[in-house]
Amino acid sequence: MRGTSTPAVAIWGVTLFSLAFVAFVSWLDALCILELWFPLRFFALAFYLLSTLAFLRWRTTRVIAAGSVGWMLVFLPQVRWNEVKSFYVDARRIESGMTASEVRQIMARHMEVGVSYHPTPKEQDWLPRPPDPTKGMIFLHSVVGWTDHCEVWLDSGGRVRDIHIEKD
């Protein structure tokens, strides 16, 4: 009797803890808190694994933990909860060596300063000047004030040299 009750309690405990923790991390992700500092996602994962380590000797708890880790590492970073998170998902798809047209194709749903979005005279006081289109691009996710933005800098051949994603 004792051998069956301990695993059952551990399995239920790990299940409830995993559901609560994954819900909490998903909430943080929806608020884009995990975008402030990308390694925060890995600290959350390490905390989760250390918290469940003692209970991973049972197969069922290992499956639950593996599913939770998979959700937090693989699936969750790609979920587009809202416009801001969608902006980050798209901006992280940009890679060095891409052409300007490939970048524009990825960022098509967002506003490019000087192309699809022209700041008002008042906004021009606090917006950085849009770069020469042959040297770089700035993308915004929203027209309401200066928000999160992605700066893409091109080399002399018109390919991506540097990407800078800025949280407001």
Taking the CA atoms of the chain, what radius of gyration do you get in angstroms?
Answer: 21
The pLDDT assigned to 103 comes to 95
The alpha helices in the chain, defined as continuous H runs, are 2-30, 40-52, 59-70, 83-91, 100-106
What does the DSSP 8-state code read for residue 117?
A: B
Q: What is the pLDDT of residues 28-51, one digit of tens each?
A: 998 888 877 778 888 999 999 999
Longest dimension (CA), the chain: 76
Residue type, 5: S
Q: What is the pTM of this model?
A: 0.76
The pLDDT assigned to 56 comes to 85
Domains of the chain and any CATH numbers: 2-78 (no CATH), 83-166 (3.30.1450)
Q: What is the pLDDT of residues 80-100, one digit of tens each?
A: 888 888 888 999 999 999 999
Q: Tokens 């299940």, residue? A: 15
* Residues of the chain scoring pLDDT < 70: 1-6, 123-130, 143-146, 168
Residue 164 tokens read as 């800078």
